[in-house]
Chains A and B, each alone.
Chain A
Amino acid sequence: MPRRQWIHAWLLLLPAFVFLIAFTHYPAVQTLIDSFWSTPKGRRPAAFVGAGNYTRMMADPIFAKAMWNSAVYAALTIPTSIVLSLAMALFVQARFAGVALMRMAFFTPTVLPLIAVANIWLFFYAPGFGLIDQVRMFFGLGSANYVGQPATALYAVAAVTVWKEAGFFMIFYLAALQTIPLSLKEAAAIEGCSRLTFFRRVTLPLIMPTTLFVSVNATINAFRLVDHVFVMTRGGPDNASMLMLYYIFENGFRFWDTAYAAALTVVLVAILTLVGIGQFFAADRKVHYR
């Protein structure tokens, strides 16, 4: 391209670059730098501590708990929300009486703000007069305190996440299912192929691009969505539901230990980068783009 066109191209890209660098790359680099310094306080300026924050992190039992909890939480919410959203999409794909109402019901959690959802679920989980307890007592089971016991707090929080995002992913799967040519279904019917085999050998591979997209989103959400933790457990009975991003917020904006929070952020970003790259490489083989 002639020189003038290059300059034009760069000038057109410049606004986007400015925002991208100002709000994404620059803060990331600044956080990395901050993680090697101590937290400035009033009179005391920041001092260079090298790997001090990282050694502290390795010895921090709450950090270990947060990492473990985040791993369990991700392992729970990602497959569950994908499978559930696919099941919901398959269910409302057909046309039957009331399908529009069902679709709306499945999608409603998505449009509600997560804080509102968390407050509603807090009252579902409330021991005694909560909805879940009332159902339990109707069936003769005792009262249960899901949010208030360390053994169940994390799962209670994960349930809210799955409930919130499954509807959103369902929309993508619905769209993908609509693009499967009807001729394939007819051909399969003629050949006497069972529904399960058709689903496994034809439908699943054809919606693989959507599955990749949904799984990347689910992974991001597993680390990003911590709003409900603020409302429901605040890190849970004795850090039972402490998640990485919540721990970062607590250190950064409640304790104002910004250097330690920066170090935690670097670790979280590194993990997410690895997971993201891994997902794309692993799935690339299996995805057929048309």
Chain B
Amino acid sequence: MNLRAALFASIAFVGLAAPAQAIDLEFYFPVAVGGKPAETVQALTDAYMAANPDVKINAIYTGSYADTTTKAITAARGGNPPQLVISLSTDMYKFIDEELVESFDRFVTDAEKAEWIGGFYPSFMLNSQYEGETWGIPFQRSTPVLYWNKAAFADAGLDPEKGPANWTEMVEMGKKLTKKDASGNVSQWGVQIPSSGFPSWLWSGIVAGNGGKLQNDTGTEVFFNSPEAIGALEALVALSETDGVQAPGILDWGATPKAFFEGQAAMIWTTTGNLTNVRANAPFEFGVGMLPGLKQPGAPTGGGNFYLMKGSSDEELKAAVDFVKWATAPEQAAEWTIATGYVAPRPDVWESDKMKAYTADFPQALVARDQLEYAVAELSTFEGPRVTQLLNSALESAITLQKSPKEALDAAQAEAEAILAAYH
């Protein structure tokens, strides 16, 4: 009896004297591009855990951006939210409206606020700040770029080193690049601007290039049927209808890089996040250029931010913010950019030795960064998913010639105004 009591007592002592529990963090991340971003995220997380043994991060792959947002909100409503989520920068209003996120300002000192948060490119912070507070930290941000097939250019008698500088040039080059075989079927299209799923993203780049603006700065008003917006949609529809340089109908986003590799399309518009994928798989030399605008260069920003979810202890959130700071530091951000092609979101990352060596070898990576000067905020409003979806439907109806561009956008504007009326 005495021995047993002594045994239990000693075990109890050992238990009490055990070191503090490691902090367990959960981190949801999506993958929206080809290549191996999931492995890179895992590698980064492992590296952080190796350097910080008292923090355990469980990086969970949660599908596409939409799936990730869905899962994060579901988990939060179920009372078991993750600490960190990478989600679309445009989901900021949704998360704020549902009261699911914490602002980063609470966990940073004033000096850090100026140096860390202030050190991101302003174009990326446009969709990350609201009412003076920072709700998202840019991580896998992108702009779309134009990729062109240098071999196809040479074949068509064009200078393979020069991509189109503006929309008119793109159409002209497209006409030379569109090849028809004996029976009149097209074997190579000049250009492919994908329109499946979320045509509004690339279209907002055309609008920016036409000098238009789609929303106000507080997420409460949209301008879908401005003359610039209608002009942008008319130009897009004209590519297949009158110019004959693009395949008709809705073109699949995911199949566009493959179409490029197969020689189906000589120029494609897609995210810079596909850069590493294209570099690895294109069987020809390719060039990367800024989006050719109708009147001026213009592009949307896109991609995902880190969000800090409510519902965890301050200690856990502090550890999460620490991880975010580390992941966006030059060394790690450079690694992430090189592995995927996403744009490093801070100027100091581009100055690091790693990035300098990479871009010396592969100057195409600089295009997306240089385009930031002309980049506009991505479409983001309250009731964002619903408003964006009705815009997508309107664009699809115009691209498939069910409605004229003006009709489609007028209807979309009316619907969006009805939804946003509640937020004025």
Binding site for B on A (CB under 8 A): 41-43, 122-123, 126-129, 137, 140, 142-143, 145, 147-150, 233-235, 237-239, 250, 253-257
Contacts and interface: CB of A to CB of B under 8 A. Distances in A.
Given A233-B196, A237-B397, A253-B70, 9 more contacts: A42-B97, A145-B249, A145-B250, A148-B196, A237-B249, A238-B396, A254-B70, A256-B94, A256-B98
Nearest to A42: B99
Interface residues of B, number: 39
15 contacts: A41-B98, A123-B255, A126-B258, A126-B259, A129-B258, A147-B250, A147-B252, A148-B250, A150-B400, A233-B196, A237-B402, A250-B389, A254-B66, A254-B70, A255-B386
Interface string B376-408: 000000010110010001101101101000000
A138 to B, nearest CB: 11
A35 B83 CA distance: 32
Contact of B247 (A127, A137, A250): A127
B184 interface: yes
A145 B400 CA distance: 11
B80 interface: no
B73 interface: yes
A127 B189 CA distance: 11
B60 interface: no
A71 to B, nearest CB: 20
Contact of B99 (A43, A142, A150): A43
A79 B397 CA distance: 31
A13 B289 CA distance: 68
Contacts of B248: 145, 149
A257 B386 contact: yes
A137 B264 CA distance: 14
Nearest to A129: B262
A129 B263 CA distance: 9
Interface of B: 66, 70, 73-74, 94, 97-100, 183-186, 195-197, 247-252, 254-255, 258-259, 262, 264, 383, 385-386, 389, 393-394, 396-397, 399-400, 402
Contact of B264 (A41, A128, A140, A233): A128
A154 to B, nearest CB: 13
B279 to A, nearest CB: 20
Nearest to A250: B389
A140 B183 CA distance: 7
Nearest to A144: B249
Across the A-B interface, the 10 shortest Cβ-Cβ residue pairs = A148-B250, A148-B249, A42-B99, A145-B249, A238-B397, A238-B396, A237-B396, A128-B264, A255-B386, A129-B262
Nearest to A249: B70
Contacts of A140: 183
A171 B2 CA distance: 69
B149 to A, nearest CB: 14
B89 to A, nearest CB: 17
Contacts of B251: 127, 145, 148
Contacts of B254: 122
Nearest to A130: B255
A147 B258 CA distance: 17
Given A41-B98, A255-B385, A148 B252 contact: yes
Contacts of B97: 41-42
Contacts of A233: 196
A122 B253 CA distance: 11
A122 B194 CA distance: 15
A127 B255 CA distance: 10
Q: Looking at B196, B250, B385, B402, which has the most chain A CB atoms within 10 Å of its CB? A: B250
Contacts of B98: 41-42, 256
Q: Which of A41, A123, A237 has the most CB of B within 10 A?
A: A237
A143 B186 contact: yes
